[in-house]
Structure 1
Amino acid sequence: MTKGTPRPFVLGISGAQGSGKSTLSAALAESMRGIGITTAVLSIDDIYHTKADRIALARQVHPLFAVRGVPGTHDVGLGLKIIEAIDNGCAVRLPRFDKAADDRASEAVWEEAPADTALLILEGWCLGAQPEAEEALIAPINDLERLEDSDGRWRRAVNTALGSDYQRLFGRTDMLVFLAAPGFDVVRDWRIEQEHALARTAGSDASAVMSDAQVENFIRFYERLTRHILAEMPSRADLLIRLAADRAPLSVHYHRYASP
């Protein structure tokens, strides 16, 4: 970014798995490009650590970190470098994550944010989340925590990670939009729909697609933080969009916005 040039605007879109963040981001990006605004989209799902790095993290910290999703499983440093490059007016490659392979995709399929990017849409299921209070971590919230994290070591490590560089990444957003699910119970159905869609496009990799039962187990990793976000983010998101179970918008609340 040259002196006197406004830094790119970073629009954050947060919401539970399956709430429509990616669909909204893609539609908005297309609309902005259509009126001449150079726009790039980055999902925090695309900056997960590689499978090898998560396996190493599982050995060093806790076995549950082998599963992608929660804070601590993202390469936040990579995300910060990408935003820094965009802020400085540099073209930068945007990583992509292959969920069927559960690993970072080959650089051959990475897209590029142009040097003149004016709008970056940053989306993610835990985007903008704040750490829980220490006392909230004491009691397990589901069978996963009760059986595989009985001492709370994993959930405390997740909470600690969320309170560190994640806040630097989230703090770069200029406006936060929250797509609020009606409750955690619908997330299971939304996430199963996502997996069925992935199965239709996975081709020879279809064996890596999760069954409905596997999805139910998978979302237990997300349950604690998703419930926390649903409880505390509506009061502070710049734009709150409450959704019905079919994702239809029920209401829109504009809370505040301070220009960068």
Structure 2
Amino acid sequence: MKTTVEILSEDIVDRLPPDRHGPFVVGICGAQGSGKTWTTRLLAERMEHLGLRTVTLSLDDLYLTRADRQLLARNVHPLFAVRGVPGTHDIAAGIRIIDALGEAGCVALPAFDKAKDEPVAQSDWRKVDTPVDIVLFEGWCVGARPQHASLLAAPVNALERDEDPDAIWRNHVNACLAGQYQAFFAKFDMLVLLQAPGFDVVAEWRLEQEETLRRALTSEGRDVSGLMDRRAVERFVMFYERITRHILEEMPTRPDLVVALDALRQPISVKVNR
């Protein structure tokens, strides 16, 4: 079977409208550790090789500052101190950036330093000349839809049971997903799902990500104290479990392209929805 990058690049090129105005925006959804970032980077290189000016963005680039999340933690629920779920991103900024990438000029793209748990300083943001042809936007809940309120009552894991017994946190997360996030996702021309074989693999995938980042930072002589060990990762993925399981159950009939992955992140089947 072709690689994930080959599958995506061929399908994207096939869908590009010849008379398009503005960039063709592709949303790439996949659970933590599914290879979204690596796939997106290689896909962008392939698009550039075809003569298509391509920009990559991540939902992670839009994380709120630690201070803003602490404010949410105080005013809404303590679990919002942890980045990741809907409500912890600057979605308004994402909408502005997508719009700006279709206009003539220069756009500065935000970034987030996970080791410091803070956004990168604006002076260090990368700048791209616009307009561009393609925007590849990846994120773990890209294109996700909110759950019905009746499904929020029962906890899905120990985190929800013990730390969100009144369902305040998960209801607010769901409300955020139902609001501005849907307006943002509506700007995408194409949705891709990199479908994990199940939620059970997510913790292992996420741990591999942490170890890769640890090696990279260590080689650069940077601080790695903010990175997670296995126990921390197992707790961390609980924050994502509800929506990830919902995506795996609800989303596969909707995306323009679904690439099913095995536990080694290799594509095992492809479903095209037109």
CA contact (8 A) 1:12 1:175 kept: yes
Tell me if 1:167 matches 2:182.
yes
Q: Aligned residue for 1:100?
A: 115
For 1:172 and 1:90, locate their aligned partners in 2 and report how far apart those are by CA, in whole Å: 20
Deviation at 1:5, TM superposition (A): 6.7
Q: Aligned residue for 1:214?
A: 232
Tell me if 1:69 matches 2:84.
yes
CA contact (8 A) 1:86 1:92 kept: yes
Gap regions ≥5 residues in structure 1: none
Tell me if 1:46 matches 2:61.
yes
Deviation at 1:90, TM superposition (A): 3.4
Tell me if 1:182 matches 2:173.
no
Identity value in percent: 51
User: Alignment RMSD, CA only?
Assistant: 1.1
Q: Deviation digits for residues 1-27 of structure 1, max 9, x if unmatched?
A: xxx971210011100001111111101
For 1:114 and 1:19, locate their aligned partners in 2 and report how far apart those are by CA, in whole Å: 30
Whichever residue aligns with residue 257 of structure 2, its letter is: L
Give the secondary structure class of the aligned counterpart of 2:252.
coil
* TM-score normalised by structure 1 residue count: 0.95
Deviation at 1:205, TM superposition (A): 1.4
Whichever residue aligns with residue 238 of structure 2, its letter is: R
For 1:213 and 1:234, locate their aligned partners in 2 and report how far apart those are by CA, in whole Å: 30
Counterpart of 1:34 (choices 12, 24, 49) is 49
Gap change, CA 1:141 and 1:5, over 3 Å in 2: closer
For 2:56 and 2:86, locate their aligned partners in 1 and report how far apart those are by CA, in whole Å: 20
Give the secondary structure class of the aligned counterpart of 1:140.
coil
Gap regions ≥5 residues in structure 2: 1-18
Q: Aligned residue for 2:172?
A: 157
CA contact (8 A) 2:55 2:136 kept: yes
Q: Aligned residue for 2:245?
A: 227
For 1:91 and 1:85, locate their aligned partners in 2 and report how far apart those are by CA, in whole Å: 8
Whichever residue aligns with residue 229 of structure 2, its letter is: S
Deviation at 1:86, TM superposition (A): 1.1
- 5 Å-filtered alignment, 1:80-119, equals 80-119=95-134
Q: Aligned residue for 1:59?
A: 74
For 1:114 and 1:31, locate their aligned partners in 2 and report how far apart those are by CA, in whole Å: 19
Moved more, 31-40 or 72-81: 31-40
Whichever residue aligns with residue 272 of structure 2, its letter is: Y
CA contact (8 A) 1:38 1:114 kept: no
Q: Aligned residue for 1:123?
A: 138
CA contact (8 A) 1:46 1:97 kept: yes
Give the secondary structure class of the aligned counterpart of 2:268.
strand
Q: Aligned residue for 2:267?
A: 249
Give the secondary structure class of the aligned counterpart of 2:101.
helix
CA contact (8 A) 2:102 2:131 kept: no
For 2:184 and 2:102, locate their aligned partners in 1 and report how far apart those are by CA, in whole Å: 13
* TM-score normalised by structure 2 residue count: 0.90
For 1:99 and 1:226, locate their aligned partners in 2 and report how far apart those are by CA, in whole Å: 21
Whichever residue aligns with residue 249 of structure 2, its letter is: A
Aligned pair count?
A: 253
